[in-house]
Homo-oligomer: A and B are copies of this chain.
Amino acid sequence: MDEPWYSSISDDLEKVERLMMDTVRSRNPELTEICRYVLGTNGKRIRPSICLLSYRACGGRSPGKARDAAAALEIIHNATLIHDDINDQGELRRGAQAAYKKYSIGKSIVAGDFLFALGYRLIGSSSPEVVDFIVDASVAMGAGEFDQKEFERNIEVTEDDYIKIIEGKTARLMECGAKIGSFLAGADDKMIGGMGEFAFRTGIAFQIVDDVLDVIGSESITGKRTGSDIMEGKPTLPMIYAMQDPVHGDELKEIFGKKELGWPEVADAIEMIKKTDSTKRCMEKAKRIAEDSRPLLDVIEDSVYKRSLIDLSDYIVSRNR
């Protein structure tokens, strides 16, 4: 791990890694193997980092519970990834074979459920507030996935619909990480609110960039097949903007609205999107959201951890994976 914000919390992050691998040990060796396979694949650990940095930035000095929560967030996030891949029939995840491809759909459904339970167990001994933060985020993720399905291959999808979808799907769990971290550090409501809102907006920016990378990213770096979102008919901002293009918009609408697509058509769509100003507009929007969220950090004093939160936010809108 060598991203710029890691250094200030490298010790905490290493302990979180070990904690995750210990947590998923079960009496069934194959269940343990699947969980470790999924958790072990090269994730960016954004959610644990937000939680730990928020904890440290708010002055926390005994990070035991924050580490538990950080591990829980990553475990729950990975549970959703396992289930998402089944849903989306995604074959690659972080450059490795998706769990359901390697171990079967049935085992992957149960492994996901098992990870959810382990995540909740890790934070169950925390205060009711912490449990509330995380279950609220989990509930929002479910609703977000359904909102997304509603707009699959639906050319009427608007930017507002998209933002609503990614709020539930991505931003709420990021917000939750910051809220838990600052709450555990003893922050007051105003500080928790500010930190949460910063992470929430960071999550929105993160997802926009993720969706841009599906169009312009390099498969060998993102670890996912380029154009997967288009193949799956997912409503994304790059597609929404590109469908507004005066030259290519109509043809893209036709592709996006199709029930069945082949990879050659997906490649055509990518080429067309690249000819519009869509990905540029998306990146500008993501960068603006990230920049506009910085003043929210005024609720906390300057520190190496606050600096790392800004680094993380910078990374999110400049990354290539």
Chain A positions within 8 Å of B, measured between CB atoms, are 26-28, 30-31, 79-80, 83, 86-88, 105-107, 109-114, 116-118, 120-121, 124-126, 128, 131-132, 135-136, 138-139, 141-143, 145-147, 149-150
**Which residue in chain B gives the minimum CB-CB distance to A23?**
B139
A143-B109 CB under 8 A given contacts A135-B117, A136-B121: no
Query: In the complex, what distance in Å separates the CA atom of A30 from the CA atom of B152?
Result: 14
6 additional A-B residue pairs with CB within 8 Å, beyond A116-B138, A125-B131? A26-B143, A26-B146, A27-B147, A110-B142, A117-B135, A121-B136
**Which residue in chain B gives the minimum CB-CB distance to A110?**
B145
Q: Are A146 and B112 in touch, CB under 8 angstroms? A: no
Q: Which of B26, B110, B116, B121 is in CB contact (< 8 Å) with A116?
A: B116
A112-B113 CB under 8 A given contacts A124-B132, A135-B121, A147-B28: yes
Q: Which of B87, B126, B143 is in CB contact (< 8 Å) with A114?
A: B143
Least CB distance from A101 to B in Å reads 15
Q: Which of B105, B107, B138, B150 is in CB contact (< 8 Å) with A117?
A: B138
**Which residue in chain B gives the minimum CB-CB distance to A132?**
B124
Least CB distance from A169 to B in Å reads 11
Least CB distance from A72 to B in Å reads 11
By a CB distance below 8 angstroms, the chain B residues around A120 are: 120, 131, 135, 138
By a CB distance below 8 angstroms, the chain B residues around A30 are: 146, 150
A87-B109 CB under 8 A given contacts A28-B143, A31-B143: yes
Q: Are B146 and A28 in touch, CB under 8 angstroms? A: yes
**Which residue in chain B gives the minimum CB-CB distance to A88?**
B106
Q: Which of B124, B131, B146 is in CB contact (< 8 Å) with A107?
A: B146
